[in-house]
Chains A and B, each alone.
Chain A
Amino acid sequence: MKTLLILSWRNIWRHPGRSSALLAAIISGLWAGALTIAISNGIYQQRTNYLINNETTHLQIHHPDFMTERSPDLTIPQPEVIVSRLAQDPRVRSFSPRTLIDGMLQSPVKASGVRIRGIDIVAETATTGFHRQLSAGRFLDQSTRNPLVMGQALAATHNMEIGNRVVLVFEDTRHELTAAAFTIVGLFVSPSRQVDRTLVFVRADDLSSLLADRFISHEIVILLHDIADADTVAADLNTRFNGISARTWFELSPELRTLIDYGSITLLLLTTVIMLALAFGILNTLLMSLFERRYELGMLLCIGMGRGKLFVMMMLEALMLTLSGAAAGLLLAAMALNWLSSTGVDLGIFAAGLAQIGYDRIIYPFLHGSDYATVVFMVIFTTLAAALYPAWKALATNPLEASKSR
């Protein structure tokens, strides 16, 4: 076997130019493919982290119809019992009840439709990281009556500044119109232009007292110690409590699911193109080599080298060429990713578009260990599949070729 390995390796380098060209194609293809996968991973990771840290957390509890109707009276029944249960669950890191309502924000300039999020400041800051996106002022606290935090972009459209007052108008649980004045205490800038223009934060107590004559919760967001427990915790809650719907971050983020599905299809197509190019490269190189070496293959059969060894030799040539290319390509990709993991990839030219859909312009690409393994597996599979035909042709070599004139 060692001799076959040596023979195959040296056969590869009979035509250094041809082998180098194929090797360069493999290296650049895998390098580019690996980086594309890594950037996709970075985008998914960033979006997932953002959603989990600032929007959905790992789990959310609602009234079963709240997500479709968003009516103010679709509240979580007996939230204090659920909260008590969550406080005892060792899988739960933190949680935050929210009071939610859609309404209008009115300023002397104009009125805008907004999504009003009433929060418990301590619980919310322990559970989500939105307070870290403040660009001016402070987050909600007890020092001001009816404090409000809004997006800097929304404030700009209303010519509002910190300290100005705005009026929130919305429907209460009795389906009557209610309005109250709030003081702007902070402004935020999130990665999403949409969020910056539509989301406002107020204290849950303030909002509850305007919506009903008791504390009400439309949503409880839950952060777990381990994201992998999300499905089981959701199932436990749905089993234990009637009249609620506990859903995981994945169920709550259809756009993320779409993104992942779309990304998967794109990556599949890209990978298919790279692997097809690899397959044709291997096929072409081996067939040319087979044609050029038919006298020699005939001679090997003449002198007593079995057809099995001939087959293995051709397969080894293909495998060694592509595996060395794959190793070099992935090594270069790993080096590039090592560098990019600190600097990130600046998608500045798409910054405006990315902000519209809630993405940062800086992406931190990365590859999982399983991604490397998958690429290597695919390269081996493609190479073996592509080498089968030339190797089979080699099997059919007639030993009489050795004595033919050339």
Chain B
Amino acid sequence: MKPVVMTENLGKVYNPGSIPVTALRNATITIDRGEFTTIVGPSGSGKTTLLNLLGGLDRPTSGSVCINGIDIATLKDPELIDFRLWNIGFVFQHYNLIPVFTARENVAFIMLLQHRNKQQIRERADQLLDEVGLSHRRDVRPAQLSGGEQQRVAVARALATEPKFIIADEPTANLDTAAAMNLLDIMERMNREKQITFVFSTHDQRVIERARRVITLVDGAIVTDRQHAS
């Protein structure tokens, strides 16, 4: 089976003005289906850069990123947007829900972009909200939800398109312990039951402890890549 994510000598150099800044160098990673991986490291170590490259949000200056066998660096911008829609789910530190939509509409919206059947969208949105424990809050807008609830809606949205993998950038950074644990429980259960691949970046020890693989970055380079016991 092809790996979900495969990078080879991945590098990113930012060049604001004339002084080049190397954010990532020679990152070679393979992530298989069903992995529950965290990328850790101090601030400025390149975690977010790596995630952005894996998510097709940024383009590498060297090396390649293959998602499900497709080198996404070769895709044009509209193709890349479409690729993200069908292949990658995103969970952001600041939840980034659409504030004028209800929880259900937030989850349904991304499926509407996929032009799915409306009945199917409604049923799947309700099912996902049920799975993240928010079926009773589906008609509520984000402003009326707690941080933990918003992040659970974001997870439901990320799962809605049935992506190859989900990228979560510091998903628990703004959550209290109970909400963070609840979120991790949900993501772990999705990973275990549905073999959904998760890749996190985090500083949060609670996330690191729950991950089965921890990749450590320092100064833009991978220094350790360890498997944890489940």
Residue pair B82, A3 in contact (C-beta under 8 Å): no
| CB closest residue in chain A, given B141 | A10
Question: How many cross-chain pairs have Cβ atoms below 8 Å apart between A and B?
Answer: 71
Residue pair A304, B78 in contact (C-beta under 8 Å): no
B99 near A: Cβ within 8 Å?
Answer: yes
**B residues less than 8 Å from A296 (CB atoms):** 96, 98-99
**B residues less than 8 Å from A341 (CB atoms):** none
Q: With A306-B81, A400-B58 as given contacts, are A14 and B110 in contact (CB-CB < 8 Å)?
A: no
Residue pair A295, B94 in contact (C-beta under 8 Å): yes
Residue pair B92, A304 in contact (C-beta under 8 Å): no
Residue pair B93, A403 in contact (C-beta under 8 Å): yes
CA distance A215 to B84 in the complex (A): 95
SS class of chain A's interface: helix, strand, loop or mixed? helix
CB A234 to nearest CB in B, in angstroms, measures: 63
Residue from B58, B93, B100 whose CB has the most chain A CB atoms within 10 Å: B100
| CB closest residue in chain B, given A301 | B81
Q: What mask results when residues 268 to 291 of chain A are scored 1 for a CB within 8 Å of chain B, else 0?
A: 000000000000000000000000
Chain A residues within 8 Å of chain B by Cβ, number:
24
A405 near B: Cβ within 8 Å?
Answer: yes
Residue from A3, A303, A306 whose CB has the most chain B CB atoms within 10 Å: A303
**B residues less than 8 Å from A299 (CB atoms):** 90, 92, 96
Q: Please report which residues of chain A, range 360-406, place their CB below 8 angstroms from some CB of chain B when the two chains form the complex.
A: 399-400, 402-403, 405-406
**B residues less than 8 Å from A403 (CB atoms):** 48, 51-52, 57, 92-93, 169
CA distance A299 to B142 in the complex (A): 15
Residue pair B58, A3 in contact (C-beta under 8 Å): no
Q: With A400-B52, A402-B90, A405-B93 as given contacts, are A304 and B85 in contact (CB-CB < 8 Å)?
A: yes
**A residues less than 8 Å from B169 (CB atoms):** 403
CA distance A303 to B109 in the complex (A): 10
A323 near B: Cβ within 8 Å?
Answer: no
Chain B residues within 8 Å of chain A by Cβ, number:
30
| CB closest residue in chain A, given B114 | A304
Residue pair A402, B92 in contact (C-beta under 8 Å): yes
**A residues less than 8 Å from B86 (CB atoms):** 304
Q: Please report which residues of chain A, range 65-105, place their CB below 8 angstroms from some CB of chain B when the two chains form the complex.
A: none
B145 near A: Cβ within 8 Å?
Answer: no
CA distance A405 to B173 in the complex (A): 11
CA distance A305 to B111 in the complex (A): 11
**A residues less than 8 Å from B57 (CB atoms):** 302, 399-400, 402-403
CB A397 to nearest CB in B, in angstroms, measures: 12
CA distance A300 to B84 in the complex (A): 11
CB B99 to nearest CB in A, in angstroms, measures: 7
Residue pair B81, A307 in contact (C-beta under 8 Å): yes
A11 near B: Cβ within 8 Å?
Answer: yes
| CB closest residue in chain A, given B77 | A307
Q: Please report which residues of chain B, range 83-130, place their CB below 8 angstroms from some CB of chain A when the two chains form the complex.
A: 84-86, 90, 92-94, 96, 98-101, 109-110, 112-114
From A7, A302, A405, give the contact of B84 (CB < 8 A).
A302
Residue pair B98, A304 in contact (C-beta under 8 Å): no
B164 near A: Cβ within 8 Å?
Answer: no
CA distance A399 to B80 in the complex (A): 11
B220 near A: Cβ within 8 Å?
Answer: no
Residue pair B112, A3 in contact (C-beta under 8 Å): yes
Residue pair A11, B84 in contact (C-beta under 8 Å): no
Q: With A400-B52, A400-B57 as given contacts, are A304 and B96 in contact (CB-CB < 8 Å)?
A: no
B138 near A: Cβ within 8 Å?
Answer: no
CA distance A14 to B143 in the complex (A): 12
Give the A-binding residues of B (Cβ under 8 A). 48, 51-52, 55, 57-58, 77-78, 81-82, 84-86, 90, 92-94, 96, 98-101, 109-110, 112-114, 157, 161, 169
Name 20 interchain pairs, CB-CB below 8 A, sorted by A: A3-B109, A7-B98, A7-B101, A295-B94, A299-B90, A299-B96, A302-B55, A302-B84, A303-B84, A303-B157, A304-B84, A304-B86, A304-B110, A305-B81, A306-B82, A400-B52, A400-B57, A402-B90, A402-B96, A403-B48
Give the B-binding residues of A (Cβ under 8 A). 3, 7, 10-11, 13-14, 295-296, 299-307, 309, 399-400, 402-403, 405-406
Nearest 8 pairs of A and B residues by beta carbon: A304-B85, A10-B100, A299-B96, A399-B57, A304-B84, A3-B112, A302-B90, A403-B169
Further contacts, 16 of them, CB under 8 A, given A302-B84, A304-B113, A402-B90: A7-B100, A14-B100, A301-B81, A302-B55, A302-B90, A303-B90, A303-B110, A304-B82, A305-B113, A306-B82, A307-B77, A400-B52, A400-B58, A402-B92, A403-B52, A403-B93
